[in-house]
Amino acid sequence: MTGALSGIRVLDVATLFAGPLAATTLADYGAEVIKIEHPNGDPVRNHGAQRDGVGLWWKLLGRNKKAVTLYLGSPEGQEIFREMVADADVVIENFRPGTLERWGLGYDELRKINPGIVLTRVTGFGQVGPYAKRPGFGTLAEAMSGFAAITGEPDGPPMLPPFGLADGIAALATAFAVTTALRAREQTGQGQVVDMAIIEPILTLLGPQIIAYDQLGVLQERTGNRSSNNAPRNTYRTRDGSWVAISTSAQSIAERVMRLVGRPEFIDEPWFASGAERAKHADELDEAVGSWIAARDRDEVITAFEEAQAAIAPIYTAADIVEDPQFQALGTIATLPDDELGPVRMQNVLFRMSETPGAINWTGAPVGAHTEEVLGGYGVTPQRLARLREQGVVR
């Protein structure tokens, strides 16, 4: 493995999404990530779409990780894990608070083995507080953060995203937290505990809702695709049945759009000079823009907007994404060999770096694919491994 995080060893004992995705991100940029699964396999292997019984989500989430099985609930599994911690840099876990302590693997014990270890704890509600021991998932964070309350049509119910939004945001925040803790260790020589509550990072991305409530007593309402800060801003259907989205966050863009759609008289209205005031006239602006777009095919609309230097994007599906020339130029979608599925396409690493780029070296491996290799490096002999398999400690 090469990359900016080369030389960092991560033990990933988390399941499902936020913690494991954080570990995947670290692995993409060179960290050696050892994925420690229950002998029955990580639940994500059977989550979502499958092909011939092979979980596709796992291929993405398990990439660049060495797949090892080890039952941490057994004394011998705990013994082996302690040996692994001795030369690790990071542990990422998402058990309910108190679980590691019950197994004798809490931070106080781990730092005796390795004072520099960064124990990263990713849970729904964090390690303290009245909700700490509740089961927590991203859906609950999307509800409690205020995201659902502001998402959806004004006369409709609160809306949840159809994917792991809060988990994904928490995963990126966790990866940043880990690298921050590792930087601190360079200065102090000491590891620490990272307490990541999935309910928290999404709050930051939702913008000034807390301070607006604190200072003005304002609660943001559901506005569908519209924005309370600018207009026109919506999705619009084209003549050929496609959809496009436009935004006019900048005043100059708003003016260009209205000239393009043949309604320059709006620009002279006193209210047009303010995004918030334009939003109060969204019905009029949407009718002007929407009727112009509805009379033209998608490609014609996009070309006209580009020539006018106005902001527009087509509404894409995965089928569109893999064919788009901009994504192709960026290398956003990678094609990789896979022993079980053959060539597979998936999202590439998150960002490009000129000197220490990230890379996908392999896709998610089968259960226990690296157990013998990794545990052998910790002195587990083939004979002991066979016994551990018989006992269900490994697979």
Measured CA to CA, the distance from residue 9 to residue 353 in angstroms comes to 21
**Any idea which residue has 């509740």 for tokens?**
134
DSSP string, 175-218: HHHHHHHHHHHHHHS---EEEEETTTHHHHHT-THHHHHHHH--
The DSSP bridge partners found for residue 93 are 121
Active-site residue (options: 12, 87, 167, 338): 167
Run of H or E residues at 245: strand 243-246
Q: Provide the CA 104 distance to its chain's centre, in angstroms.
A: 31
User: Is residue 185 within 8 Å of 191, Cβ to Cβ?
Assistant: yes
Q: Which two tokens stand for residue 224?
A: 């569908």
User: Is residue 289 within 8 Å of 236, Cβ to Cβ?
Assistant: yes
By CB atoms closer than 10 A (0-12, 13-18, 19+), residue 65 is buried
Pairing of strands 32-37, 9-12: parallel
**Any idea which residue has 């966050």 for tokens?**
249
Q: Which of 140, 202, 148 minimizes the C-alpha distance to 171? A: 202
Q: Which of 136, 245, 250, 154 minimizes the C-alpha distance to 200? A: 136
CB proximity list for 68: less than 8 A, separation 6 or greater: 34, 35, 36, 37, 368, 370, 371, 374, 375, 394
Does residue 52 have an active-site annotation? Answer: no
Q: Which two tokens stand for residue 104?
A: 């004798």
Quick one: CA torsion of 22, 26, 32, 34, rounded to 10 degrees? 10
The catalytic residue positions are 167
